[in-house]
């Protein structure tokens, strides 16, 4: 089973989910982002199915001189944020690397997770980095074809390309602390805060400490 899971000079708002959700700097959001209700998934489901209720972001963990977005600034689309080992959807999983956009990849694709395959000593789908990139802080639309570049403490650079669901991931080993930037369509966003954990969507959620989704507009 493959989950190819969700970056971004907004300072990329902590591009990859920080361990302990370390604080990040977020730029002011002046526009009101209205998120459309997603179409329901079809297909057989196993366990619960997430229909995606509306949630509001918080500013916890964010620092900086600029004000942090509040619920009055935008609406955030939770999508499949609560997908995990106990909340699975077969139709989504059939999408493989495009499954569960916006969910925490590492909930299943970490050591011992149900998304990791072990076959004759070979390990597959054990992610070290993963997340979803959108075009707004609220997660209105996925961004395809953007480059997500992560540099580890040894100087090693891992480059990932977002797919049509906005998801990106890597199984390459990295040594924290990490830094990252996202480029696409002539734009660049940099996360200046070092982070320890590559699970972006664990903090970049509607109610996550990052204050919204990973995005590049």
Domain ranges (residues) in the chain: 1-217
* Cβ-based neighbour number of residue 88 at 10 Å: 20
Mean pLDDT over the full length of the chain: 76
Cα of first residue to Cα of last residue in the chain, in angstroms, is 31
The answer, as to whether pTM is greater than 0.75, is no
CA 64 vs. chain centroid, Å, equals 22
Q: Which CA distances in Å does 201 have to 17, 31, 154? A: 6, 23, 24
Element spanning 92, H or E: helix 90-93
Q: Among 13, 9, 27, 20, which residue's Cα sits nearest to residue 212?
A: 13
Per-residue pLDDT reduced to its tens digit, 117-169: 988 888 999 999 999 999 999 999 999 999 999 999 999 999 999 999 999 99
Per-residue pLDDT reduced to its tens digit, 105-118: 999 999 989 999 98
Highest-pLDDT range among 26-40, 62-76, 90-104, 111-125 = 90-104
């Amino acid at each position: 089973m493959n989950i190819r899971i969700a970056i971004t000079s907004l300072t990329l708002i902590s591009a990859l989910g920080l361990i302990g959700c370390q604080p990040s700097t977020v730029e002011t959001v002046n526009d009101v982002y209205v998120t459309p209700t997603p179409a329901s998934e079809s297909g057989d489901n196993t366990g619960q199915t997430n229909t995606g209720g509306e949630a509001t972001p918080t500013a916890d963990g964010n620092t900086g001189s600029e004000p942090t977005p509040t619920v009055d600034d935008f609406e955030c689309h939770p999508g499949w944020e609560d997908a995990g080992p106990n909340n699975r959807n077969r139709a989504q999983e059939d999408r493989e690397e495009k499954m569960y956009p916006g969910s925490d990849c590492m909930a299943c694709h970490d050591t011992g997770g149900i998304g990791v395959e072990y076959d004759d000593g070979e390990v597959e789908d054990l992610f070290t980095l993963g997340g979803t990139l959108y075009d707004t802080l609220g997660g209105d639309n996925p961004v395809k074809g953007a480059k997500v570049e992560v540099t580890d403490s040894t100087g090693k650079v891992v480059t990932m390309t977002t797919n049509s669901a906005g998801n990106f991931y890597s199984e390459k080993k990295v040594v924290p602390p990490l830094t990252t930037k996202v480029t696409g369509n002539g734009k660049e966003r940099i996360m200046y805060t070092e982070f320890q954990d590559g699970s972006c969507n664990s903090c970049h959620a509607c109610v996550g400490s990052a204050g919204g989704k990973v995005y590049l507009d």
